Amino acid sequence: MRRRRNVKIVATLGPASSDRETIRELFLAGADVFRLNMSHGAHEEIAQRHRLIREIEHELDRPIAILADLQGPKLRCGTFADGPVTLEDGAHFRFDLDDRPGDAARVRLPHPEIFAALKPGATLLVNDGAIRLRVERCDESSADMIVEQGGVISDRKGVNVPDVVLPLAALTDKDRKDLEFACRLGVDWVAMSFVQRPEDIVEGKALLGGRAGIIAKIEKPAAVEAIDGIIAEADGIMVARGDLGVELPLTKVPGIQKRLIETARLAGKPVIVATQMLESMIHSPVPTRAEVTDVSNAIYEGADAVMLSAESAAGEFPVEAVATMNAIAEEVERDPYHRKAMEAGRPKARTRVADAITAAAREVAETVSVKAICCFTHSGTTALLAARERPRVPIIVLTPFFATARRLSLVWGLHCVHTHEVERFKLAVVSAARAARAGGFASDDDRIVVIAGIPFNTPGSTNILRVAPVREKLIYEGEPE
């Protein structure tokens, strides 16, 4: 089950991919992580998908990560008395708290928090940015606006407020219930929507209590501005380009994507690039050239994972979409320019012992003939630091905890193996040699680099490195420490 690439693939499950055989085919085609979209499907359906993933994981004996994606607050207008209305450029329109059905002059916006935060000059976007409104006057219950870009508005269309930090919690009551449900199921990651500030992540982490890693979805301009603080609190981020492209000019999104990937990588946190990566494959068995280039660019930039949404959840060709993304990734990573890009993006400053050890492991692997870097970890810290170096050789992660192995399956280049607990470094070397050989990474005549922390069971204590032969007769329990 060894992948021939380092970047990981996240596949969303949905109506087109809910049966056991399709999920299994998605994994075999290249999916490393399965996303459960909490915006769609009853808890019973989500629990069924979770169960099937775990059955396939047991059958194929390879850790699989599961990501639960919370819906977040949805800002929507009210209904219209006589159906959709057309807003003309230059016309005046009002949002208010009046619960009467709307017309061509006004409609209800049942979010007093928005009115509390609005100021004259602020922009509101309706229907994924198709309509643009500018606030001329506002108070605690209404906003009078001028239509800068007109269009058709109808019942319960989404409203975005891009240039205002809204006093809204990132977690709704539904999200809190979904989060607890997902944690009880045993998911490995939870993605938070509508993140605006580091405090949103702090709130989510308190509810998670360490039961899953937390991914901050970066889809608001405020989150882009506060990215350093958000990354410091989160366990990883998702570049949610759909909402970013609504709330910001489309021309800014590629640069923001590059900056977010670089910032997350330097922090040693995984980053997922999402939205419309192979959108045409919802209805077509092959992607467009532009889509192939888009996926390739994310991989060249150093993303840990690329994600499929409707392509695998509701599309006509879910397995083909995963296989296509897998083929793109393999081709990109064979390109010498990809290797140059990975090396150019390495962190320059290394101030901790663990940083120095993982950097040294990469340098040793590239200097002498070594087939793999093997790291023992409990919390995942050692593996994350090893992945941040983007070495040329595979990284084998050995951990006695299923939760750690599954969670790390999202991270660039990590081949995760669940193993038994070890208390001495020489036994760790034996286990590493066996894993390298069993996974087809090395043969008896090869060598591997082994890194770990002594004493064992101490998170963040990476402090030892050894170059070891794979041939087991050269590594036996009776050798001196």
Residue-level pLDDT at 461: 72
Superfamily of domain covering 85-160: PK beta-barrel domain-like (2.40.33.10)
Q: Does residue 458 have an active-site annotation?
A: no
User: What's the pTM value of the predicted model, to 2 decimals?
Assistant: 0.93
CA-to-CA distance for 309 and 361, rounded, in angstroms?
A: 36
Q: Helical H runs in 73-197?
A: 112-117, 173-185
- Angle, helix 318-334 to helix 289-300, in steps of 10 degrees: 50
The per-residue pLDDT for range 295-317, each reduced to its tens digit, is 999 999 999 999 999 999 999 99
CA 449 to chain centroid: 29
Residue-level pLDDT at 477: 45
Using alpha carbons, list the distances in angstroms from residue 385 to 58, 209, 298, 303, 396: 28, 23, 21, 15, 13
Determine which helix (DSSP H) or strand (DSSP E) holds 325, and give its type and residue range: helix 318-334
Q: Does residue 35 have an active-site annotation?
A: yes
Where are the domain boundaries for CATH 2.40.33.10 in the chain?
Answer: 85-160
Using alpha carbons, list the distances in angstroms from residue 405 to 8, 29, 66, 411, 434: 14, 20, 12, 10, 17
Residue-level pLDDT at 1: 67
Residue-level pLDDT at 89: 97
Q: Does residue 289 have an active-site annotation?
A: no
Residue reference for tokens 């397995």 = 319
CA-to-CA distance for 414 and 181, rounded, in angstroms?
A: 28
User: Which tokens belong to 53?
Assistant: 């993933």
Using alpha carbons, list the distances in angstroms from residue 257 to 87, 260, 263, 359: 33, 5, 10, 26
The per-residue pLDDT for range 8-66, each reduced to its tens digit, is 999 999 999 999 999 999 999 999 999 999 999 899 999 999 999 999 999 999 999 99
- Give me the mean pLDDT over the 369-397 stretch: 95
Where are the domain boundaries for CATH 3.40.1380.20 in the chain?
Answer: 353-474
Q: What is the 3-state secondary structure (H, E, C) of 31-61?
A: CCEEEEECCCCCHHHHHHHHHHHHHHHHHHC
The per-residue pLDDT for range 428-442, each reduced to its tens digit, is 899 999 999 999 999
CA-to-CA distance for 50 and 13, rounded, in angstroms?
A: 10
Where are the domain boundaries for CATH 3.20.20.60 in the chain?
Answer: 8-72+170-335
Residue-level pLDDT at 380: 93
Catalytic residue among 157, 217, 390, 447: 217
CATH architecture of 353-474: 3-Layer(aba) Sandwich (3.40)
Say what the alpha-carbon torsion angle 345, 348, 353, 354 is, to the nearest 10 degrees: -10
Higher model confidence: residue 461 or residue 187?
A: 187
Residues 6+ apart with CB under 8 A from 379: 404, 459, 460
Q: pLDDT tier at 281 (50, 70, 90 boundaries)?
A: very high
Catalytic residue among 24, 123, 241, 275: 275
Q: Does residue 258 have an active-site annotation?
A: no
Catalytic residue among 5, 8, 24, 35: 35
CA-to-CA distance for 103 and 83, rounded, in angstroms?
A: 8
Residue reference for tokens 């989404």 = 158
Residue reference for tokens 């939870």 = 190
CA-to-CA distance for 392 and 232, rounded, in angstroms?
A: 27
User: Over 90: is that where the pLDDT of 475 sits?
Assistant: no
User: Which tokens belong to 250?
Assistant: 């489309």
* Whether CATH 3.20.20.60 fits 8-72+170-335: yes
